[in-house]
Amino acid sequence: MYGLIHRAIRDCVKASHGEAVWSEIAQRAAVDESVFVSMEGYPDEVTIGLLVVASEELEEDLSVLLHEFGRYWVLHTARLEYGPLFEFAGTDLLSFLSNLNAMHEQVAISFSNLQQPFFALEEKQDGCLLLHYESVRDGLAPFVIGLIDGLSEHFETPVEVTLVEEKSKGSDHDIFELRIVA
């Protein structure tokens, strides 16, 4: 993935656990400054390697770490470092979720090798929403739940998220059910 993702992982770990813990993780994952160039793309193994070592070092399940990182990405990285893009995507939770593809298409103008995720929002008869998530990658569902939690906090719209179809269990792609809590 692009270096900006690695930078955000680093910032997220440093913010919660401090500089010394991060140095230990970077050393064990055998990464140096060269993988933190925002506009540079790196093999996904580098990204996953960082996350796996961080989860071991912090004694936190990888899914918990991915969830934390999703929230951090929205509430810190996206909001503060990519403000104009973030604002472009919408001023409320539902319009924002409907615009995720368009937003990543804007990102792809600058990041030409972006392997962007694809989302589709479907409204059910009972008022719940289904968010379809398709990716060339596996294992990122907890990251997406963290991202949605971050967006829910940002837009002050409480929402319960349940993973109802799982790619890891043979479904074509992940589907999340979103219930807005009145």
* Binding-site ranges for ligand HEM (CB under 6 A): 1-2, 4-5, 74, 78, 82, 85-86, 100, 104, 107, 111, 114-115, 117, 135-137, 140, 143-144, 147
| CA 10 to each of CA 37, 73, 95, 107, 174: distance values in angstroms, whole numbers, following the listed order | 12, 11, 30, 21, 27
Task: Give least dist CB 75 to ligand HEM, A.
Answer: 10
Number of helices (H) and strands (E) in the chain: give both, helices first: 8, 4
Task: Give least dist CB 84 to ligand HEM, A.
Answer: 8
Which residue number, 72 or 86, has a Cβ lying nearer to ligand HEM? Answer: 86
Q: Is 162 helix (H, G, I), strand (E, B) or coil?
A: strand
Task: Give least dist CB 18 to ligand HEM, A.
Answer: 26
Question: Cβ-count burial of 71 within 10 angstroms (0-12 exposed, 13-18 middle, 19+ buried)?
Answer: buried
Task: Give least dist CB 36 to ligand HEM, A.
Answer: 14
Which residue number, 135 or 152, has a Cβ lying nearer to ligand HEM? Answer: 135
Q: Is 122 helix (H, G, I), strand (E, B) or coil?
A: strand
Which residue number, 85 or 180, has a Cβ lying nearer to ligand HEM? Answer: 85
